[in-house]
């Protein structure tokens, strides 16, 4: 195991005990997911961090370690959104000027979130790897410190503090499931967990559409891979050549899983249904991995890292609609063989209860200034519920039609 990295993680954890450091987030037991999957499921609620993502850990650790001269010069970074927001937030707290390079595909909501913390945003017309390379070049030319989203041992150490927290909160955990992008989170967390609890399994989960680190691990070296659009935008993008995370990931990752976009959407819906949390696609990825291999983990204590909540409302609702529509289609298909486990009349109240609880929890956790936004969310979900009611009516007509087919002819 990487003892130097572990020492950095311990140092960062000690520093984070300061009131200005990232929060220690809850580890919530999920009764619903546990009953459904047959294991003890615990949710590490990193989406409750100030910026809505675990990335604040790495950014805060890197910026706290800068010299006075480096802070005066300012910092530059590149990001698909969450890391940029984290750097902007941490820099603002430290009185440091920040510039963030983003790919054009980055969510407008995430770009707005970065600007809200006072950082300058530079949009690059290309994939995330182009934004990283442009950011590094600009930092070198301007004499600024470049803060990588993952390719930095101090950033990895900051992310790794989550692993120490997990062992404080659940000392006998059996496995941690995480979504993987550049490897900073799984490398740091995995080092922290496996140094102190070697028997724990670290499970990396990737979207099938974006699995750069996985393809590199399989090849034994960092390689270029094809990327397709994914709900897990926070993990999307190539791995930078020479990334320090590569060797660490080879040491700490025990198992790997790939999941489809439909499985990610279904996992996001399951989190909303069972725990009333609105999370981004990358947070749905690890649960999708556990669902895919649930039988192998029965009876064990499993941690799912909910890495963030920063997702555009229309994207989130589209994913939930797709997941609910898929569930309804499966129920309709199974009805043809008389094995339907839920009738349309049973599905609707479940969806309605989920909507009410979900909006209620969102409002409970928002400040007064955010209420208008979430009122708009409530109205949008009301509209979608009406659409769902139409789907339920259609399913009922299908049931009636099927019944006529089963009647004996006169």
Question: What's the pLDDT at 305?
Answer: 98
Question: What's the pLDDT at 379?
Answer: 55
Question: What's the pLDDT at 80?
Answer: 72
Evaluate if residue 281 carries a pLDDT over 90: yes
**CA–CA separation, 177 and 202 (whole Å):** 6
> Based on C-alpha coordinates, what's the Rg of the chain?
22
The pLDDT tens digits for 218-233 are 999 999 999 999 999 8
Question: What's the pLDDT at 334?
Answer: 44
**CA–CA separation, 23 and 338 (whole Å):** 50
Question: What's the pLDDT at 344?
Answer: 45
**CA–CA separation, 267 and 34 (whole Å):** 14
Question: What's the pLDDT at 29?
Answer: 97
Q: Are 323 and 269 in contact (CB under 8 A)?
A: yes
Look up residue 347 and give its two tokens: 């599905």
Q: Are 282 and 233 in contact (CB under 8 A)?
A: yes
- Tell me what the mean pLDDT of segment 13-25 comes to: 81
Equal CATH topology for 3-53+157-306 and 55-147? yes
Question: What's the pLDDT at 278?
Answer: 95
- The residue ranking higher by pLDDT, 310 or 256, is 256
Question: What's the pLDDT at 350?
Answer: 46
- Tell me what the mean pLDDT of segment 113-119 comes to: 92
In sequence order, what DSSP letters do the residues of 2-24 get, joined into one string? -HHHHHHHHHHHHHHTSTTSPP-
HEC string of 121-166?
Answer: EEEECCCHHHHHHHHHHHHHHHCCEEECCCCCHHHHHHHHHHHHHH
59 CB-near residues (< 8 Å, 6+ apart): 77, 83, 86, 87, 89, 90, 91, 147, 155, 158
Longest dimension (CA), the chain: 92
Read off the pLDDT band of 402 (50, 70, 90): very low
Q: What number does CATH give the domain 55-147?
A: 3.40.50.1100
Question: What's the pLDDT at 312?
Answer: 85
Question: What's the pLDDT at 128?
Answer: 77
Match domain 3-53+157-306 to its CATH number in 3.30.70.1400, 3.40.50.10490, 3.90.1150.10, 3.40.50.1100: 3.40.50.1100
- Tell me what the mean pLDDT of segment 111-124 comes to: 93
The pLDDT tens digits for 305-351 are 999 998 988 899 999 988 887 765 554 444 433 333 444 444 444 44
Evaluate if residue 163 carries a pLDDT over 50: yes
Q: What is the pTM of this model?
A: 0.79
- The residue ranking higher by pLDDT, 30 or 361, is 30
Question: What's the pLDDT at 117?
Answer: 94
**Where are the chain's structural domains?**
3-53+157-306, 55-147, 313-403
329 CB-near residues (< 8 Å, 6+ apart): none
Evaluate if residue 376 carries a pLDDT over 70: no
Reduce the DSSP state of residue 43 to 3 states and report it. strand
Q: Average pLDDT of the chain?
A: 84
Question: What's the pLDDT at 81?
Answer: 79
- Tell me what the mean pLDDT of segment 31-45 comes to: 96
Sheet holding 40-45, edge to edge: 27-29, 40-45, 301-306, 175-179, 201-207, 255-259
- The residue ranking higher by pLDDT, 397 or 231, is 231
Reduce the DSSP state of residue 386 to 3 states and report it. helix
Query: Where is average pLDDT lowest: 77-91, 156-170, 178-192?
Result: 77-91
């Amino acid at each position: 195991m990487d003892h130097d990295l572990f020492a950095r993680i311990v140092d960062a954890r000690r520093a984070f005990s300061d009131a200005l450091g990232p929060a220690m987030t809850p580890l919530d037991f999920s009764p619903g997911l546990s009953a459904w999957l047959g294991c003890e499921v615990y949710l590490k609620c990193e989406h409750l961090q100030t910026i809505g993502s675990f990335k604040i850990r790495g950014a805060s650790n890197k910026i706290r370690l800068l010299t006075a001269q480096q802070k005066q010069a300012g910092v530059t970074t590149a990001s698909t959104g969450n890391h940029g927001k984290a750097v902007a937030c941490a820099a603002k707290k430290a009185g440091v000027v920040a510039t963030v390079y983003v790919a054009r595909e980055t969510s407008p909501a995430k770009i707005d979130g970065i600007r809200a913390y006072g950082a300058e945003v530079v949009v690059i017309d290309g994939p995330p790897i182009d934004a990283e390379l442009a950011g590094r070049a600009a930092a070198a030319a301007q004499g600024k410190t470049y803060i990588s989203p993952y390719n930095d041992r101090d950033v990895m150490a900051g992310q790794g503090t989550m692993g120490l927290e997990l062992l404080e909160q659940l000392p006998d955990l059996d496995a941690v499931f995480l979504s993987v992008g550049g490897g900073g989170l799984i490398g740091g967390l995995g080092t922290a967990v496996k140094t102190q609890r070697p028997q724990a399994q670290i499970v990396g989960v990737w979207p099938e559409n974006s699995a750069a680190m996985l393809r590199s691990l399989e090849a034994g070296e960092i390689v270029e891979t094809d990327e397709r659009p994914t709900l897990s935008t926070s993990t999307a993008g190539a791995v930078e050549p020479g990334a320090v995370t590569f060797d660490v990931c080879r040491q700490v990752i025990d198992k790997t899983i790939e999941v489809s976009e439909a499985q990610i959407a279904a996992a996001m819906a399951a989190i909303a249904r069972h725990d009333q949390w609105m999370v981004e696609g990358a947070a749905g990825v690890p649960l999708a991995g556990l669902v895919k291999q649930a039988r192998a983990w029965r009876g064990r204590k499993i941690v799912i890292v909910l890495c963030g909540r920063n997702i555009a409302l229309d994207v989130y609702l589209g994913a939930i609609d797709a997941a609910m529509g898929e569930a309804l289609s499966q129920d309709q298909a199974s009805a043809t063989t008389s094995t339907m486990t839920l009738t349309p009349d049973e599905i609707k109240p479940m969806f309605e209860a989920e909507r009410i609880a979900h909006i209620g929890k969102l409002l409970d956790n928002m400040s007064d200034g955010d209420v208008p936004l979430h009122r708009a969310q409530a109205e949008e979900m009301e509209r979608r519920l009406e659409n769902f009611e139409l789907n339920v009516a259609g399913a009922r007509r299908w049931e009636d039609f099927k019944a006529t087919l089963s009647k004996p002819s006169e």
